[in-house]
C-alpha cells in the first residue's frame, strides 16, 4: 500500500497557438499549412511534468484572420463544406490573437482509495483558419506593365528593387516609406502590374487588387513612350466627332440634373413641414443623396466605357491607360470612388517619343472629363518632377484625413442628474 501511495505526478499542460503581428515578416509564404503546439511533459514518480511552451506564429501587418466553420453540408465527392467567418485583423505591432488553447494535463491518484481525484489529460483545441494579407499603406501605385511604377517609388523613397526595360518585373507587392521635411510619413505600395480583366482573374488579378483595400490615395502611372498605332486621318475625325457628341450629352445631363434639383427644392419649400416629420425628412434627404451619388457613379462608368470604345479598348494612349486602370479599380470595389486620385506621366526624359506633348494633351482631356484629378509630368531617372509629386501626395493625404474626420459619426448622449452625480446615457 505504501508503494501505491507514491503514485506518478501530474502531467504538464499542453502549449497554445498564438498569432502575433510583426513588421519583420513581409508575406505569408513562410507560414506552414499545419501548425501544432508541443505536448506537456509526463509526470515522473512524484515530480510533476513540465508545461509546454506556447507556439507563436508571426504574421505581417494587415493580415485578416477568418475561421473556417462547418456548414453541415457535403460536396458531391463527400467532403465537408466549410464557410469563412471573419475573426480579427492584425494591424498594430505586437498585437496577438489566441487561436487554439492547449489542453490540461492529467492527474493520477496517489492511491487506489482516491479514484475521485483522477483526471484524464484533455485534448487541445483544433481550428481551421484562413489568412489573407492586405498590406497596410497610404498610397497605392497603379500602373500597367513597364509603366515605371517601381522607378517612381524608388525615386521618392529609399526603396531599391529590380528595374529594367522588361515587363512584369515586380513579382510581389512591397511597401516603402516616404518622409517629408515636416517629419510626416506615408507608406507607398508597389504591387505587380495590372492588366485588362484583372478583376475577373482569381488566380492573379484579385491577389493584386486586394492590396489596394487600405490605400487612401491612388497614384496612376501612365507611360507616354508606348508606340502609338498609325491611324487613318478619317478615323481621327470620327473620334473627334464622337467625343463632341459625348461632351454635348454630358452637358444635357448636367442641365437636366440642375432642373431636377431646382424642382425638388421648390417642392420641399411649398410642402408643409410639421415638427413630427423632421426626422423622416432627414432620412429622406440622406436616401436622396445616396441615390444621387449612385446615379453619378453609373453615369461616370458609362462615360468611361464610351470613351474606351472611341479610343480603342487596348489603345496605348495615355488617357486610355488611365481609363483602363481606373475601371479595374472601380469594378473591384465601388467604395474606391471616395478616395483621392493623382496621375503621373513618367519617362518624360525620352524626348524622341514626345512625352511632353502627350502629357499636355492628357492634362486638357483630364480637365474636361475629370477636373478633380491633377496631372503631373515627371522623370524618375533624373529626379525631375518628383518633388511636385511628393507635395501633391502630402496635400491629398491631408484632404483625405479631413474628409474622414467629417464623416465620423457624432456620438450623442443624454445627461441625467441623479443627486449630485451626472450620468451619461448614449
Concatenate the DSSP letters of all residues of 161-192 into one string.
Answer: ----SSS----S-EEEEEE-TTS-EEEEEE-P
Average pLDDT of the chain is 79
Query: Which residues pair with residue 178 across a beta bridge?
Result: 186
Residue 112 has pLDDT above 50, yes or no: no
All structural domains of the chain with their residue ranges: 2-133, 139-229+299-407
Number of residues that make up the chain = 426
Neighbours of 57 (CB within 10 A): 18
Closest CA to 393 of 332, 341, 349: 341
3-class DSSP assignment, residue 72: strand
pTM over 0.75: no
Mean pLDDT value across residues 175-190: 92
What are the residues whose beta carbons fall under 8 Å from the beta carbon of 60, sequence distance 6 or more?
21, 22, 23, 25, 26, 27, 28, 133, 135
Q: How confident is the model at residue 234 (pLDDT cuts 50, 70, 90)?
A: very low
Residue 140 has pLDDT above 90, yes or no: yes
Whole-angstrom distance, CA of residue 325 vs CA of residue 65: 29
3-class DSSP assignment, residue 342: strand
> How far is residue 307 CA from its own chain's centroid?
28
**How does strand 414-418 pair with strand 421-425?**
antiparallel
Condensed to tens digits (0 to 9), the pLDDT of residues 285-295 reads 666 666 666 66
Cα dist from 36 to 90, 98, 127, whole Å: 21, 13, 11
Q: How confident is the model at residue 255 (pLDDT cuts 50, 70, 90)?
A: low
Q: Which CATH architecture has domain 139-229+299-407?
A: 3-Layer(aba) Sandwich (3.40)
Q: How confident is the model at residue 387 (pLDDT cuts 50, 70, 90)?
A: very high
Mean pLDDT value across residues 34-50: 82
Asked if CATH classification 1.20.1250 holds for the domain at 2-133, the reply, yes or no, is no
Mean pLDDT value across residues 122-137: 91
Q: What is the pLDDT of residue 351?
A: 87
- Where are the alpha helices (H) located in 229-277, listed in sequence order? 233-270
Residue 187 has pLDDT above 90, yes or no: yes
C-alpha cell at 414: 443624454
Under 8 Å between Cβ of 176 and 157: yes
Whole-angstrom distance, CA of residue 135 vs CA of residue 156: 19
Whole-angstrom distance, CA of residue 355 vs CA of residue 350: 7
Closest CA to 27 of 57, 61, 55: 61
Q: Which residue has the higher pLDDT, 173 or 1?
A: 173
Residue 300 has pLDDT above 50, yes or no: yes
Whole-angstrom distance, CA of residue 121 vs CA of residue 265: 74
Label residue 209 left, alpha or beta by phi (over 0 means left) and psi (-120 to 50 means alpha): alpha
Condensed to tens digits (0 to 9), the pLDDT of residues 12-23 reads 889 999 999 998
Q: How confident is the model at residue 98 (pLDDT cuts 50, 70, 90)?
A: very high
Whole-angstrom distance, CA of residue 283 vs CA of residue 267: 17
Q: Which residue has the higher pLDDT, 152 or 298?
A: 152
Residue entry with cell 457628341: 245
Q: What is the pLDDT of residue 201?
A: 86
Residue 85 has pLDDT above 60, yes or no: yes
Residue entry with cell 464623416: 407
Under 8 Å between Cβ of 91 and 57: no
C-alpha cell at 392: 501633391
Residue entry with cell 410642402: 271
Cα torsion for 186, 187, 193, 198, to the nearest 10°? -100
Whole-angstrom distance, CA of residue 286 vs CA of residue 279: 11
C-alpha cell at 85: 467567418
**How does strand 17-21 pair with strand 96-100?**
antiparallel
| Of 2-6, 292-296, 421-425, highest mean pLDDT | 292-296
Whole-angstrom distance, CA of residue 338 vs CA of residue 329: 12
Q: What is the pLDDT of residue 125?
A: 92
Angle between helical axes of 355-369 and 318-332 (0-180°, round to 10):
50
Amino acid at each position: 500500500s505504501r508503494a501505491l501511495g507514491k503514485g506518478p505526478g501530474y502531467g504538464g499542460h499542453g502549449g497554445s497557438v498564438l498569432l502575433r503581428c510583426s513588421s519583420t515578416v513581409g508575406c505569408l509564404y513562410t507560414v506552414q499549412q499545419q501548425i501544432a503546439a508541443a505536448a506537456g511533459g509526463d509526470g515522473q514518480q512524484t515530480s510533476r511534468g513540465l508545461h509546454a511552451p506556447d507556439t507563436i506564429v508571426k504574421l505581417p501587418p494587415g493580415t485578416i484572420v477568418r475561421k473556417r466553420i462547418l456548414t453541415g453540408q457535403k460536396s458531391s465527392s463527400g467532403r465537408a463544406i466549410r464557410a469563412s467567418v471573419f475573426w480579427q485583423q492584425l494591424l498594430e505591432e505586437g498585437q496577438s490573437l489566441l487561436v487554439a488553447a492547449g489542453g490540461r494535463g492529467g492527474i493520477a491518484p496517489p492511491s487506489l482509495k482516491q479514484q475521485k481525484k483522477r483526471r484524464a489529460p484533455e485534448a487541445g483545441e483544433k481550428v481551421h483558419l484562413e489568412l489573407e494579407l492586405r498590406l497596410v499603406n497610404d498610397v497605392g501605385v497603379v500602373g500597367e506593365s513597364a509603366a515605371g511604377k517601381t522607378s517612381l517609388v524608388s525615386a521618392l523613397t529609399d526603396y531599391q528593387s529590380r528595374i529594367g526595360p522588361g515587363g512584369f518585373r515586380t513579382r510581389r507587392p512591397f511597401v516603402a516609406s516616404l518622409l517629408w521635411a515636416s517629419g510626416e510619413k506615408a507608406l507607398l505600395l508597389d504591387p505587380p502590374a495590372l492588366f485588362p480583366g484583372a478583376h475577373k482573374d482569381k488566380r492573379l488579378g484579385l491577389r493584386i487588387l486586394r492590396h489596394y483595400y487600405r490605400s487612401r490615395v491612388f497614384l496612376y502611372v501612365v507611360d507616354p513612350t508606348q508606340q502609338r498605332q498609325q491611324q487613318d486621318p478619317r478615323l481621327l475625325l470620327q473620334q473627334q466627332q464622337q467625343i463632341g457628341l459625348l461632351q454635348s450629352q454630358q452637358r444635357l445631363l448636367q442641365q437636366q440634373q440642375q432642373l431636377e434639383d431646382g424642382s425638388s427644392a421648390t417642392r420641399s419649400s411649398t410642402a408643409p413641414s410639421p415638427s413630427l416629420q423632421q426626422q423622416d425628412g432627414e432620412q429622406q434627404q440622406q436616401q436622396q443623396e445616396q441615390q444621387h451619388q449612385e446615379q453619378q457613379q453609373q453615369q461616370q462608368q458609362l462615360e468611361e466605357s464610351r470613351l474606351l470604345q472611341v479610343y480603342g479598348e487596348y489603345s496605348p494612349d495615355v488617357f486610355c491607360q488611365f481609363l483602363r486602370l481606373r475601371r479595374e479599380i472601380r469594378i473591384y470595389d465601388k467604395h474606391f470612388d471616395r478616395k483621392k486620385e493623382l496621375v503621373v506621366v513618367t519617362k518624360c526624359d525620352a524626348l524622341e517619343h514626345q512625352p511632353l506633348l502627350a502629357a499636355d494633351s492628357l492634362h486638357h482631356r483630364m480637365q474636361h472629363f475629370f477636373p478633380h484629378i491633377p496631372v503631373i509630368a515627371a522623370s524618375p531617372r533624373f529626379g525631375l518632377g518628383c518633388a511636385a509629386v511628393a507635395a501633391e501626395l502630402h496635400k491629398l493625404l491631408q484632404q483625405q484625413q479631413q474628409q474622414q474626420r467629417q464623416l465620423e459619426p457624432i456620438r450623442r448622449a443624454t445627461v441625467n442628474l441623479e443627486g449630485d452625480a451626472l450620468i451619461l446615457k448614449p
